[in-house]
Structure 1
């Protein structure tokens, strides 16, 4: 490092130290203000004794330090002060602050303990040490940019402590003095170290600045060199421009010499381009065959001239020509070369580069022959591509063929709409020959005696004139006598000036199609059996009536034949169809003034009447229909009396929407059918409420099955012989989260109408098997629990799987289960049900015939089905005491005993009933006399209280 650089670094460090100290001294002064305020507040809070010297010191210190801060902030702004003045100011400031701290230490350490007895020596030591240590810590932080600033603050501050150690040797605390001395020495060492670090940082900043200046100077030198280089380049360009000028003069002389030559070449090129253009437009490819030298000049598809050897060209040409045209080509060429023809001309196909065949027309002539032997020496010619011409000719022929053979009528008109050509099919459609049509106007061959036809013809002509086309359906009666429904499409043909020259028309015969559409419309909208509108057409017409007759009052009657299904099975299929036809005919006769009548499906009919004062009432209509049906129907030479049920809904009273009105009428019809038929019911809102209640109940029941809300109660069965509990009947209950326990009478009938009864049966069997297992674990091994089964569970085919799953899962015996089946469950599918019951018996499960005596064929069931237990219905038990009922019960018990069955009597509520049944040797009793149905826990308690070691076994 040079001496100048060293001096620069030294000066820069000195300047930076002063500037940084000025900036940091503000923080130092602020810290001193806070420390003095803090000590003053501590003294005032804890010792309360007023001392003027201490107050004067605090106020003076705060004022002096604040003035120092203000002067440093306002006067010594960055870049606005002299370095020497700032240095002197900082020295003065540091020294005075050190003296103020020393005076504060003196007052705290010497003066206050003498005037305030409560202010002890330890307090003086603490506060004075706090003032010294904290102030010197801040000076160590902010004033070590230069060591003399720190010393000017540090040395005056420690004077009171130093003097105290020598003056008050006996009274001073030596340990405190040693600690303070050590701390002051450490602070001094830290200040020295901090100064050195700051000094090194300032030197590093100075060196960096020197390096930056040096780099900038190097950049300036590089810019100067670039400028010099640019001057050299400019000089080189001047020389280059002089050379270019000389070259341009030379080139100008050359151009002048070659201009005439270029003009001659241009003329030749123009002539050649004209020739090439003529060849391109005409599609000509010239060729020149020098037979003597065996060379041929020709032009390819890119109009490039090529020279080939004759032999090579002949081989290539023979490979390109279509095999079917090759012999013709050779013969024609040989004939001309021999001089037998004046000109060579032939058409043949060649294979182009894409592999497709293209027609060409080749024409040529021998222009030079040997005078001695007449051999050809030179031959020239032109080959032309005629593929488009051939295609155009073929299209013309094809168009003519299509015109002749098309299965559509086609005609061509001139610009005056007069026929100039027609095809044979159009002749066939119109019934005229072409000679009778040509030259006539478009509609001169049709009848125009009706104003409607004349208007239609005028509309067609007007549309052709305005839009140059027509496309539409016309019903025409030709003068030949033919009357047809036609679809006519006419288009105008224009020239380059968009002027109409011709019209082309295509005519299709829609007559048969219209007939087919009418037949399809009938099949789509009418029932072929009754010849009445079907459901689709009924909804369409009813919707149309509701839209067009909004101010009218309508009645929708839904009619259904009572017990049609068994009657249809009896009459067979043909007989049932004949009955529906006669019903439809009778409805037509009795409802001649109805707006609409339809056969919806099966035996379901609908009638729509308009309600008005001049017409009979709807009650009168319904009564008239009922009277008409009081007469018998003759089917297959047999008379049959049938009854009908009718449901009526009114528009707009019961609704304005199609679907809603139909639903209202259906609900009324359902109510009529529910009442046994042969009646008429009118829709009311109460019906809707009952229906909605059923819908909501079904929805809640489905949720109940998913949420395990169904519970099983158990009603005990008592052995007549020993009065012990021998079993239970499982009865399902619904614990609704909002409505509480719901009776089975409310939800079981609804479940039987849906598939929910099977799900409920599965739940009851599973819970019952689980409860049997729990009772067996308590020691009740011979308890048998009966479960009610309905017909749907037997027919769905899942009952055996449910039983097997319950038995295997709970490890119980089939003898612990009993299935109660009602007589109505055995009415249909007797063979299938019998097989299912036999499968159940193979699992040792008991089968009980429930509600015995209330069904249809009880005696046949006892003989045909594997029944173990006969259960007398509560309706018989409740009438014990009446002679006839007593005789029936006695006969039932005797019959059951004779067939080896166990007899159970349910619904016992009095001691008299119990005694009577016991006298008849009935086996098992059940009823409220013993217990109502109990939940699981209460049933277990009842079992424990009413069971001895002996139990009844089936």
Structure 2
């Protein structure tokens, strides 16, 4: 076992080494990335450590994968390799921690000691966590990583005096001690699991071998019994013949002679049947007469025969054979009798029983002159005896209860396992009737026992499971199998029974049934049982249940509460919600916990119960009471969606879908409300689904095109640029405006794909216009929040700039205020990267959302775009004041002001007086396709735009 455990530890560690090396490699890269992301300085020592560590780890990972493939390496070599790798990793981690903790804060004042502690602690704790996960098969492997890595922390209190870090040292040392204890515990757990697995395999092999031996012994026993019966019958017949011949000898000499010949023939036959081979040894003349397998006499020299016999006898039996023969020849024993093994021509060893006696000796010297004997093949008998012993051993050591009954169904033999199962000893069981040791007080138990006995006597077999209570006090669930043993007259003489203890299996089945149908957290039926029960109500009980309601419930803002309360607090909340729902819905057919914070109720509608509306109101009222979670009171509200049977459908899936749609509508309205399924909601969902499906196909078929709306400079009335607007040229429905498909695209990942298409087509158009000589045209492209958050915007821009060889000066990105609400740091980083490419940034729809003046100062914005909703209301004093304030503020901050949606001359003149920079709207042109935009640009660049001054 120790060899197996040793090999298993090394084999498992080699298998897990790849994950450990890969984890440490990623960890080093992550530390290096955080350092360079957070600090603007760099050192040769830290860079060298990172480069050497990554190369070393990658090299070790490659060598580990190439050299140590399963079944192709020695255990000792693997053991040395693991220790080497662990030591190298530990040293590398120790050097990295020392650099982060001691060297870098002294090298640059930009990095504080607190930041160094964070990075060093992150490196040591995560690396030791990986070591704890993958290297605890042997504690020495973990120690080779652990000890070098913590050396910087161990020597720090000795050589560096700091009054600000004692708490850190105490916390770190405690964490490292806990890691070491966990590693030791994990090692012992791995070792125990491996030893249990090894013992289980050994027990399994022994059990299989014992079963095979039992079957073989039974077969050979039956064969030998049949042969013995045949021999017995033949011997009886021979005895009768011999008696008849003896009587006939009295008639005359001829009949005596004939009888002797017949007797000799019968004797030969008897020898042949019984396997007896007579031999006659003439010691005086050194001759021996043998009978071969064909009952033929064969004479040979005794010296040659003895020499040959010594070669055929098994070496272990030769000394015994010689001693027995010498003792009898010397007259020390009355009869020569010995059992030994001889080798047959096929090389097989067989047992023989040799019996003989000296029948003639020299009268004076008492030296033997003649000896006769018989040799019999007893190999089969010997084998049968050994198998009978094995059978008895199997009976005693079997893991199931085995008993034997006589023809009166009384116990005559039981094995130890049966004694253990019943709680009685063998002496207490032998002689009693089959069910005398079981409780028969109850009529049901007596009826079952009588039925078993009746079936056994009638059919000769019984096999079934039952719950049995024995008089010893034991109660078990058993499987009882009994068979009849019959004699040659086909009369039942014995009964053999096998008892298996199914108590633990029955408990496991009940536990599995609970786990399959119930949620272990809330103790409510799960989704599987809910769907099954609802299906039964819809299909099997249509006559008794005429109407029912499916109510789907969802906890409002559960994700926020779960993050605030932590995982344990969230689980406690779900348990309390489930308990309150169980108490409120006593009249409901079923209350189930589907998953997460989703619950479902099946409620029967009838005149004797409150209506479903009253029931939902009662649930809402019950949830007005606070929930006490971790010592704090929280008010929980529910959103509920209701579908009715049979009004909304007769099928399980359809009713569930209807309830889910109603629940989604309730969540959309802000929660804490109940919504009933309506057909209009389904139609809107179907329309959205169809548009999303067609839009995905449109992207594949290049059906999206870009229109361009001109922008006019207020000062020289020239075209300063265009705004790129996407349109959907549907092959059947024609041109689809963006208002129908852009909102749906923003709810999926399609908006990013559409943005990529618009940027590519816009860059291509800019290159085409530049080829025509229009070098000062700037085109703006609208960017939504999802494009900023998904992280592919910079790649799309770089791809477009490099593919069509245009500069960033020709491109402008219009970003809405909603894009700047979340991920402020990440958005600021992306905008700064965009500015590095000399691309202009425009703030679109300013003033229509959650406007914040901090956007104008915190982000690199070049252009402020006044929304059409303000421009369209020019003429109202309050609106004009807002527009005037926007333009003045933008001008004061050095931004370019763009007014969109200009449709009247009055709007144009008012904006010109306010010194607005760029105008855009239907007064000049609607969005134009590619060719019309090029034609408009050519005409306007040749003929200056004349704007009335009136």
Contact 2:556 2:639 in 1 (8 A): yes
Residue matched to 1:412? 404
> Among residues 559, 562, 569, which one is paired with 1:565 in the alignment?
559
**Residue of structure 2 in register with 1:519 after alignment:** 511
Which residue in the other structure is 2:173 paired with? Answer: none
Alignment match, 2:430:
438
8 Å CA contact 1:849–1:871 kept in 2: the answer is: yes
Deviates more, 1:697-706 or 1:343-352: 343-352
Q: Distance in 2 between matches of 1:275 and 1:542?
A: 87
Gaps of 5+ in 2: 1-257, 946-950
Partner of 1:543: 535
Change (3 A) 1:913 1:365: farther
Contact 1:852 1:873 in 2 (8 A): yes
Q: Does residue 489 in structure 1 map to residue 477 in structure 2?
A: no
Cα separation, 1, equivalents of 2:781 and 2:296: 105
**What residue is the counterpart of 2:801 in the other structure?**
807
Whole-angstrom CA distance in 2 between matches of 1:304 and 1:888:
135
**What pairs up with 1:289-688 in 2 under 5 angstroms?**
321-350=313-342, 357-366=349-358, 380-551=372-543, 552=545, 553-688=547-682
Deviation by residue 1:215-250 (Cα, 9 ceiling, x = unmatched): xxxxxxxxxxxxxxxxxxxxxxxxxxxxxxxxxxxx
What CA deviation, in whole Å up to 9, does each residue of 1:607-627 have, x standing for no partner? 001111111111111111111
**Distance between the aligned counterparts of 1:284 and 1:863, measured in 2?**
118
TM-fit CA distance, 1:600: 0.7
Say yes or no: does 1:843 pair with 2:833: no
Give the superposition deviation at 1:595: 0.6
Question: How many angstroms does 1:732 deviate by?
Answer: 1.7
Task: Give the drift of 1:898.
Answer: 4.9
CA 301–774 in structure 1, closer or farther in 2 if over 3 Å, else same:
farther
Larger CA deviation: 712-721 vs 883-892: 883-892
Q: Helix, strand or coil: the match of 1:928?
A: coil
Query: Which of structures 1 and 2 has the bigger CA Rg?
Result: 1
Q: Report SS of the residue matched to 1:532.
A: coil
Tell me if the contact between 1:294 and 1:311 (Cα under 8 Å) persists in the aligned partners: yes
Tell me: CA distance 1:331–1:796, structure 2 relative to 1, closer, same or farther (3 Å): farther
- Can you list the C-alpha shifts for 1:117-154, whole angstroms capped at 9, x where unaligned? xxxxxxxxxxxxxxxxxxxxxxxxxxxxxxxxxxxxxx
Residues 486 and 945 (structure 1), Cα distance of their counterparts in 2 relative to 1, 3 Å cut: same
User: Are residues 1:694 and 2:682 paired?
Assistant: no
User: 308-317 or 379-388: which moved more?
Assistant: 308-317
Structure 2 match to 1:30: none
Q: Deviations over 1:553-592 (max 9, x none)?
A: 2211000112222222222222222222221122112111
Cα gap change, 1:418 to 1:812, in 2 (>3 Å): same
| CA distance in structure 2 between the partners assigned to 1:875 and 1:682 by the alignment | 36
Secondary structure in structure 1 of the residue aligned to 2:458: helix
Describe the shift of the 1:626–1:364 C-alpha distance in structure 2 as closer, same or farther (beyond 3 A).
same
C-alpha distance in 1 between matches for 2:707 and 2:733: 18
510-519 or 885-894: bigger deviation: 885-894
Tell me whether 315-324 or 787-796 shows the greater mean CA deviation. 315-324
- Contact 2:717-2:944 at 8 Å conserved across structures: no
Instruction: Quote how far apart the aligned CAs of 1:474 are.
Output: 1.0
- Shift of the 430–725 alpha-carbon distance from structure 1 to 2, 3 Å rule, reads same
Pairing 1:769–2:763 present: yes
| Number of the residue aligned with 1:908 | 902
Q: Deviations over 1:485-515 (max 9, x none)?
A: 2222222222234332222222222223322
What root-mean-square deviation, in Å, do the aligned CA atoms of Structure 1 and Structure 2 show?
A: 3.5
Q: C-alpha offsets along residues 738-758 of structure 1, whole Å, 9 cap, x if unaligned?
A: 222222222222223333233
Compute the displacement of 1:374 (Å): 5.2
SS of match in other structure, 2:618: helix
| Bigger Cα displacement from structure 2, 288-297 vs 908-917 | 288-297
Would you say the 8 A contact 2:340–2:353 is kept in 1? yes
Instruction: Note if contact 1:645-1:672 (Cα within 8 Å) is conserved in structure 2.
Output: yes
Moved more, 414-423 or 382-391: 382-391
The alignment of Structure 1 onto Structure 2 pairs a total of residues equal to 686
Q: 1:788 to 1:300 in 2, by over 3 A?
A: farther
Shift of 1:646: 0.9
- Structure 1 alignment gaps of length 5 or more: 1-265
C-alpha spacing 1:728/1:319, structure 2 compared with 1 (3 Å): farther
Q: Is the 8 A contact 2:549 2:604 kept in 1?
A: yes
| Residues 707 and 930 in structure 2, CA contact (< 8 A), matched pair in contact too | yes
The answer (yes or no) to whether the contact 1:729–1:786 under 8 Å persists in 2 is: yes
Once the 2 structures are TM-superposed, how far is the Cα of residue 660 of structure 1 from its aligned partner? 2.0
In 1, distance between residues paired with 2:825 and 2:303?
Answer: 99
* 1:745 pairs with one of 739, 744, 750: 739
Aligned to 1:248: none
Cα distance in 1 for residues equivalent to 2:377 and 2:853: 105
Q: Distance in 2 between matches of 1:814 and 1:389?
A: 102
Of 696, 721, 726, which aligns to 1:732? 726
Q: The residue matched to 1:775 in structure 2 has which SS? A: helix
Q: Distance in 1 between matches of 2:348 and 2:912?
A: 111
Contact kept, 8 Å, 1:724 with 1:948, in 2: the verdict is no
Q: CA deviation at 1:346?
A: 2.9
Residue 710 (structure 1) shift? 1.6
In the alignment, what sits opposite 1:65? Answer: none
Q: Deviations over 1:269-292 (max 9, x none)?
A: 999986676455434455566667
Deviation larger for 866-875 or 691-700? 866-875
Structure 1 residues 501, 868: closer, same or farther in 2, change over 3 A?
A: farther
User: Is the contact between residue 647 and residue 681 of structure 1 (CA under 8 Å) also seen in structure 2?
Assistant: yes
**Cα-to-partner distance string for 1:176-231 (whole Å, 9 max, x where unaligned):** xxxxxxxxxxxxxxxxxxxxxxxxxxxxxxxxxxxxxxxxxxxxxxxxxxxxxxxx
State the shift of 1:665 in Å.
1.2
The secondary structure found in structure 2 opposite 1:589 is helix
